[in-house]
Amino acid sequence: MTQPRVVVLDYGSGNVHSAVKALVAAGAQVELTADRQKVLDADGLVVPGVGAFAAVMDQLRAINAGQLIDQRLTGGKKVLGICVGLQVLFDLGVEHGLQTEGLGQLPGVVEMLDSPKLPHIGWNTVEAAAGSVLFEGVEHERFYFVHSYGVQNWTLDAMGAFLPPKVTWAEYGSKFVAACEVGPLAATQFHPEKSGEAGIRLLTNWVNSL
């Protein structure tokens, strides 16, 4: 059986090498690159992200990542966002009063979590969506989060032919989107590459779906 080819998008984000290692452990043939044709041709594309929403968006725009992701999704080719890689898929990020346009793949706003203690760092459980592909076999496991911002309101009922979206929630002061699956697009607010065996299983589920 041929290993699925996965590109981890290399746009200057930190923490990419741990994602590469975890995807290899999950059974993928992995390349870290921003080469346009390789990004478009891969079976799966992973968009990692750490740091501030605005800074990540600047880096993504510099390599025209929005168009690449659009083109993949239009062709039904899978994309997985991780952490800020989830956040930038939404319409807008609001950090320290600064509003930054996201990639707009999903409707919604990334805002500061409603919690007395930030950032949210550490292990947390999730409420896995019914029928989730990502969480099959790890519905009741804990995953590793590092963030102060998140999507706290989900407004998308459908996206074209992809019905219905599968939304997984977590809670830290208030509920926020921990993961979502909409057609070929999936994303996690937590770091599966830092989430031990449960994270590798989740990535394996994604790799096996390619």
Q: How far apart are CA 156 and CA 178, in angstroms?
A: 15
152: region left, alpha or beta (phi > 0 left; psi from -120 to 50 alpha): alpha
83 among known catalytic residues: yes
**Residues 177-187, buried b or exposed e (16+ Cβ, 10 A)?**
bbbbbbbbbbb
17 among known catalytic residues: no
> Which of 17, 83, 141, 147 does the annotation list as catalytic?
83
Q: How far apart are CA 70 and CA 52, in angstroms?
A: 22
Q: How far apart are CA 65 and CA 27, in angstroms?
A: 25
> Which of 141, 147, 181, 193 does the annotation list as catalytic?
193
> Which of 96, 171, 191, 197 does the annotation list as catalytic?
191
Q: How far apart are CA 9 and CA 7, in angstroms?
A: 6
Find out whether 173 and 115 touch, Cβ atoms under 8 Å.
yes
**Which residues are marked as active site?**
83, 191, 193
